[in-house]
Every structure is written in C-alpha cells, then in structure tokens.
Amino acid sequence: MPDDTDRMNELLERQRRAFLKDGPPGLKKRLDLLDRLENAVRSRQDDFCKAISADFSVRSEHETVVAEIFLVIEAIRQARAKVGKWMRPARRCTSMAFFPGKSMVMYQPLGCVGIISPWNYPVQLALSPMVGALAAGNRVMLKPSELTPATSDLLATVLGEAFAAEEVAVLTGGAEIGRAFSSLPFDHLFFTGSPNVGSLVMQAAAKNLVPVTLELGGKSPALVLPGFDMDRAALSIATGKLFNAGQTCIAPDYAMVPAGSVASFVESMKSQVASMYPSLAGNPDYTAIINDAHRERINRLVDDAAAKGARVVRLNPAEENLAGSGKIAPTIVLDVDDDMPLMREEIFGPVLPVMEYDTLDEAISYVQRHPRPLALYCFGNDNAPIDRILNLTVSGGVTVNDTLLHVAQESLPFGGVGNSGMGTYHGEDGFRTFSHAKSVFFQRRLNGMSLIRPPYGHRFNRLMRFLIDRKVGKD
C-alpha cells in the first residue's frame, strides 16, 4: 500500500509541477485537449461497448451508445463551442462610492482535479466531469470503479494514448486505492457514487481542506397527477426505470398515483413493459445487474417487503426462468410503507414501489418529509399543480411529463442537494465548478480614497452621511 500511495503522490506532484511551469492553458490548448478526448472516445466506441457489456455480462449496446458515447460527445461539443466565452473575464458593477474604479471576475483553473467515477455508467460518469475540468484548464487524475474492470482498464489505455500523464492520468485498483486517492491533496475532488461512500470521501478530503463535488443519489419520486394519460405516464416511467435495468442514479425510485388508479397504472406498466421487452432472458436490449452481490441486495429488498405485507407483481412477459441470466424481471411492489428498507434505501434496480395519494398536498408532504432526491418527475396536464410541485419540493433536477431527460441538457446544471449531493456540473456549470472565480478591482489614478483616509474630519462625516442615507433605485 505505501508503494501505491507514493506512486499517486508522485503523479500528483508531477501534474502540479507541470501546471505551475506552464501556467493556465490558453484557448488553443484547451481546444486541443477537448479534441483529443473526443477522438479517443470516437475511435474506441466499439471497444467501449464491448468492455461495458463484458463487465455487466449483458449491457444493451444501444443504451451504451446513447448514455456513454453520445452524451460525452455532446458535452465535448458544447464545451468546445463555448469555452472561449466562458473564459472571458466578466465585468461586475462597482459601487458609486468607489468610482471610477472597475470590478471584474476572472476565471482561473484550480490546478489538479481528482475524479472518482462509479460503475453504473463507467464512461459517461468518468469523462463528463473531465470535460468540464479540461475546459477549465486543469490537470486531471481519474480513479474509475473496480466493479467494471474491463472498462476501467480500457479507459486507462485510451486516455494514456491520448494524453501525457502530466495532463490526464488514470489509476485503477480496488477500494484501498480509492481510499488513498480520496486522501490526496487535490485542488478539487469530484465524486459520483452512494451517499455512504460520499460521506467517507468528504471526510478524507477534509483533512487536506480539499473542496469536493458530490454527485450522489437517493429515492427519486415519479408523481402522476389526476387526469394525466396513464399509458403515457407508464411508458415514460417504465423507460426511465428500466434503462440500464434501473442502475441509474436518477431512475424513478418510486411512483405516486392518485387514489383509485393503482390497478390502472399496473395494467399500463404491464402493457408498456411487454411492448418494450417481449422477452428478458436472451434479450440484448435488457441489461443485467452488475454482479451477484447487487442482484442479491435487490432481491432481499423485495423479499423483505413481501414478508411485511407488500404485494409483488413481476412483469415477465414471456414467463421465462431468469436464473443464470444475471437479470431481474421488472417488478412492481404495492402496499408499501416506510418501515420497509425498500422505501428507505435507493433501489438501483428494476423494482418500482407504487403508492397512492388522496390529495396533491399529501403527495408533496410525503416528498418533503424525506431526504431530498437527486431527481423528481411529475406528470400533469395543468400548469398550476405542476408549479406547486416545483415550488414546494426540493430536488437536484426535474423532468416534467417524462423521465431522465433533464440530465441530457448540457445547458442545465446537474447535481444533487442535501442527501443527494452538493455542487453541479455539465456545460458552463462544470467549467465554473472547476474554476476559481477571482475578484479583481482596478483602481484609477484619480479616485476619492483621499476622502476616507485619516485624519478624519468634517468632510469624512459628510461623505459617510451621504453614502449611507442616499436612495438607491431598484434594479
């Protein structure tokens, strides 16, 4: 272990020396870094699809192309198109008391950024934050997940070919490497994963006063309002829940439907699942659970709920035996309550608890009483109740009348709040996260500072009365 720690510290020091020697990179260099990253992803697209599928045993190639390749390339495209604008110093208002001085904010790279990425989207969640870090002019060290070893090794190879170690470096290994990595004195540490591990990462980073961005998870609700087309809601919720077999941090974790509509919702879910996945076991479109331990954890949550009185409805259109396939059938769980771990823990699998509510206020109150989720979904025909939900609930992000899609908007910040994380990235928000906003005030040769320096007297008193009592117009 000391050898690994020494190696990581040496690599970080190499990156820091290179950063100090070269200074903040200009626009041309940043565009070159982004171009190299895009070329690396494009040239090895097929290899990434194969590696991810190998790690999952079955991972839909189409889902990989959409979520891992397309979203990363879109992030690079926007950064490349906008980074010149993002880099420009921003003028700020100067108080009348300090005229004719000038105020501005300039954005500087922090230096050396650490990224710890998870297994569920092993390329996207490694490279999307890297886009923001490189656009902001930083050096990057990446620690990918040990649960996707084929993908992590491929990332190390591909990024090693595209970048010098002083620019981007990848460190593979198990949990002990991750713990040592999170203790390094980075200029910023970015972590995506569970709240439990995020807490440990934050504790480790705090020893070096390293600022952190935590992208966590939580129980993201899907709230269906009265009068909304149940088939449409079920299609969107099933799509969001079953993409990557539910192994998505913003997947709908539970659904809330109006009282008396549970049976209708279940029937709609059955129909939509059968349409999308007429079979499961040999279907390459339906992704497997990452490993035995996670599959057993999901099954334990369902079994515990059933033992406590919940009704379990398995949606297995071809009635296949899934033993040995690595897959779990889409599952709806009814009559749930908060005493069940299923309703306290993030499920991270193709299991959807369904609750019913009598009034909108009751549904909103339920969301308010629980830890703030990473995402919230609401389905409705009228603006007033949707606005009420948006105003009274706090979540990382929201998609209205669909699921997942807010994460694909590079112009929107993506991040959690409270238990679901802190800090944001994507697009300009990622650039800002990995930049230092430095305040700069330019003093003019002719200025009024002589009026507020000792010795104080009547002129000072009159000036202060004027500045304090003056009326300031509205913006």
Structure tokens that stand for 284 in this block: 């390459």
Give the pLDDT of residue 26: 97
319 part of the active site: no
Q: What band does 1 get if pLDDT is binned at 50, 70 and 90?
A: very low
Average pLDDT score over the chain: 95
Q: What band does 471 get if pLDDT is binned at 50, 70 and 90?
A: confident
Mean pLDDT for 151-177 is 96
Instruction: Look at residue 475 and tell me whether its pLDDT is greater than 80.
Output: no
Which residues are registered as beta bridge partners of 442? 102
Name the percent of the chain lying above pLDDT 90.
90
**Residues 388-438 pLDDT 10s:** 999 999 999 999 999 999 999 999 999 999 999 999 999 999 999 999 999
Other residues' Cβ atoms within 10 Å of the Cβ of residue 198: 23
- Give the DSSP letter of residue 96: G
Give the pLDDT of residue 473: 62
Mean pLDDT for 47-65 is 97
Q: What is the dihedral of CA 343, 345, 349, 352, to 10 degrees?
A: 10
Contacts of 295 (CB under 8 A, 6+ apart): 289, 326, 328, 349
Burial class (CB in 10 A: 0-12, 13-18, 19+), 459: exposed
**Residues 311-338 pLDDT 10s:** 999 999 999 999 999 999 999 999 999 9
**Residues 123-147 pLDDT 10s:** 999 999 999 999 999 999 999 999 9
Q: How far, CA to CA in Å, does 33 sit from each of 135, 136, 139, 429?
A: 8, 11, 10, 19
CA distance 474 to 302: 57
Question: Which of the following is catalytic: 49, 112, 249, 378?
Answer: 249
DSSP codes, 257-310: EETT-HHHHHHHHHHHHHHH-S--TT-TTSPPPS-HHHHHHHHHHHHHHHHTT-
Other residues' Cβ atoms within 10 Å of the Cβ of residue 61: 14
DSSP codes, 121-181: STTHHHHHHHHHHHHTT-EEEEE--TTSHHHHHHHHHHHHHHS-TTTEEE----HHHHHHH
Give exposure, 103-114, as e/b (b: 16+ Cβ within 10 Å): eeeebebbbbbb
Mean pLDDT for 437-446 is 90
Give the pLDDT of residue 445: 82
Mean pLDDT for 187-212 is 96
**Residues 31-42 pLDDT 10s:** 999 999 999 999
**Residues 216-247 pLDDT 10s:** 999 999 999 999 999 999 999 999 999 999 99
Q: What band does 474 get if pLDDT is binned at 50, 70 and 90?
A: low
Question: Which of the following is catalytic: 63, 167, 215, 428?
Answer: 215
Structure tokens that stand for 427 in this block: 């697009």
Structure tokens that stand for 305 in this block: 């709920």
319, 312 Cβ separation under 8 angstroms: no
Q: Tell me the three state secondary structure of residue 195.
A: helix
User: Higher pLDDT residue, 49 or 448?
Assistant: 49
Q: How far, CA to CA in Å, does 457 sit from each of 96, 105, 461, 463?
A: 21, 35, 6, 10
Q: What band does 97 get if pLDDT is binned at 50, 70 and 90?
A: confident
CA distance 463 to 475: 24
Sketch out the chain's domains with CATH numbers: 2-216+424-436 (3.40.605.10), 220-415 (3.40.309.10)
Tell me the backbone φ, ψ of residue 356, rounded to 5 degrees: -115, 155
Give the pLDDT of residue 108: 97
Give the pLDDT of residue 48: 98
Tell me the backbone φ, ψ of residue 184, rounded to 5 degrees: -70, 150
CA distance 207 to 367: 34
Rg, Å, the chain Cα set: 26
Give the pLDDT of residue 401: 98
Q: Measured in whole angstroms, how far is the alpha carbon of residue 398 from the centre of its chain?
A: 13
